[in-house]
Structure 1
């Protein structure tokens, strides 16, 4: 079973030996380390699934396995390191892989001890546990590293507890905060961290990340990169849930518009209502929203993406969104159906009826 900081079906970020497409962020950290300006807290930001956690675990391995540059030893100070990579046979790397490194602590959402269900927030006790970690690990005089994944999950009490640690950081401690939405963090937390913003991945880097994770996506890496917005995490989720097939079914459904293929729509609705289909149902609504957004952008700009994520997609989008008026109409229906879907799921409306209602609204917009 995956943990809150892991994509279902994908390796844990600590098990990824190499990070792709984030050379600038890695170099910024190496420059700070090499010049003796290593900040005590780093905020790793950017869209979900682009490698922030993989970078955090790479930074942790590096910090715990690399001697300080001011440790001259017998032969003088070593040259500044040029890579974060640490041999996976290094004792630190092996202990981290086994979850047994005493100098490292990972903070994520935890189960509620009363209900044994996973909390939806990082609570203050999770942050307060760091006090004991710092005390126990201070005796050896080595570095201590904390990874908070994700800082966005902290409730107000946890955020204030972390802020106190950032204001008075323990000696030789480095905190690595992962955030998908840094604007939601306390401004005082952001101001006490150095920010590393990571970028979305191009298709070639995404293909290498898939290969490293052992996930075979065939020849559709370009389509996965297109639909995921360059997020390898989102692309993995699409691949593992057969999202490209579902998206192709949606595109095929709108191909007949303004005539409504009710049989195809009912097939999608019934699949979404099947027992145990909650995850795929959520993905279906995300893909509907994405398709409507692509229609709106095609109408607004007059041009579409150079990458087709489904057969004949470009021609279908061009026919249904030929101009800015159509683009505005699709943007409006995207807003309306998205709000209706969120409300329907929140109050547990019948999922088949909710899907069918959404598809009928799309058909009505095409006729309009």
Structure 2
């Protein structure tokens, strides 16, 4: 079991449940504390914001706080020191907490692409066995819930067990059922400023120099960029630097993601595509980032010369993301997923 990868963990960085300190999210922490101190703790919480800015770390801070006998009036989310639940929470063995994430497919020997309804059904036994005490459920991320699982979570939000707190993490809350969003209190987390980003990167075991501007306030992005993501993004920008797509280079980029061996490359490439589309859309409104290298400035300027282009690229970004998510869910060849995304970007670029 120790060899099974954790889908909610970045590489070999510490899992969020092991991360003691949260940087740059004082406003979100204060909002939760206010709800606790006023006796108005909602049963459902939706933590939103970009990937890698601390949503899961905050979720686990909240879980530790709630499960270690917090004072009626608390000044911080720090748990009670030395509480016996703390080592159990770190080991995912505490009876008061349940983590729902993409499960391991024993037959296929890989992680499933979605959180299934069978995972949500485990909550029946969880609540039955831990009745009488406070319980916390973390869904990381709720974006991975398949339709049946999402409906099961919705039913739980509509009829929550006593003293239950459900924490849903979402990178793209617009994809969730409106009824799920309406039954949760939303905590919006912001990108980290540079000092907070550097501190968080160092806490994850990396040098602060990894906190470059391209990460845009995301610890997860900074770690990914330091592990080869920067080179992948640079190659992608170069691919669209000229008006005519170099199809041979594009095909090579897609083929590098094929098969099980290309899984990590697939994730890095899709993240690079998402980053390029978001930066392109923003450039159409605000211009290229001041700290962008010359090649990226030329590429963004050519692809997004005005605000109408920005709106078009925003639509392409959503379309590419949706198609990639669906394709991965039904096990489409990874090379085909990347090729489809590159072709759609090229088709939009040709319209300008």
* Range class of TM-score, shorter chain: 0.7 to 0.9
Name the counterpart of 2:221. 234
Q: CA deviation at 1:94?
A: 1.9
Partner of 2:53 in structure 1?
50
Over residues 119-145 of structure 1, what are the superposed CA-to-partner deviations in whole Å (9 max), with x where a residue is unaligned? 22222222222122222222xx43111
**Of 240, 243, 263, which residue of structure 1 is paired with 2:229?**
243
Does residue 303 of the first structure (1) align with residue 290 of the second (2)? no
What residue is the counterpart of 1:187 in the other structure? 178
Partner of 1:74: none
> Please, which of 257, 280, 283 is the counterpart of residue 268 of structure 2?
283
Distance change in 2, residues 1:125/1:274 (3 Å): closer
1:101 to 88, 94, 100: 94
Gaps of 5+ in 2: none
Rounded Cα–Cα distance in structure 2 between residues aligned with 1:53 and 1:103: 17
Answer with 1 or 2: which has the greater Rg.
1
**CA 1:326–1:107 in structure 2 vs 1: closer, same or farther (change >3 Å)?**
closer
Q: Aligned pair in 2 of structure 1 residues 210, 88: CA closer, same or farther (>3 Å)?
A: farther
Contact 2:259 2:333 in 1 (8 A): no
Equivalenced residue count is: 344
Query: 267-276 or 87-96: which moved more?
Result: 267-276
Hey, what's the Cα distance between the residues in 1 that align with 2:59 and 2:142? 13
Please name the residue that 1:133 is paired with. 126
Partner deviation per Cα, 1:312-367 (whole Å, 9 max, x = no partner): 34664487569549968x959x77x969x96999864967x959x869969x969x
Is the 2:116–2:149 contact (alpha carbons within 8 Å) kept by the matching residues of 1?
A: yes
Alignment partner of 1:209: what SS? helix
Alpha carbons of structure 1 residues 58 and 312: separation in structure 2 relative to 1, 3 Å = same
Query: Mind listing any 5+ residue stretches in structure 1 that lack a counterpart?
Result: 70-79
The 8 Å contact of residues 265 and 359 in structure 1, kept in 2 or not, is answered as no
| Structure 1 vs Structure 2 CA RMSD | 4.2
Q: Which of 171, 191, 213 is matched with 2:204 structurally? A: 213
Match of 2:19 among 9, 16, 21: 16
- Residue aligned with 2:209, SS: coil
The 5 Å alignment of 1:102-121 reads: 102-112=95-105, 115=108, 117-121=110-114
* 1:82 CA drift (Å): 1.4
**Cα pair 2:255 2:335 within 8 Å, conserved:** no
Alpha-carbon separation, structure 1, partners of 2:48 and 2:251: 40
Relative to structure 2, which stretch is displaced further, 198-207 or 275-284?
Answer: 275-284
- The normalised TM-score by structure 2 is 0.77
TM-score (norm 1): 0.74
Shift of 1:213: 0.5
Partner of 1:204: 195
What displacement does 1:215 show?
1.8
How far does residue 62 in structure 1 lie from its aligned partner after superposition?
0.2
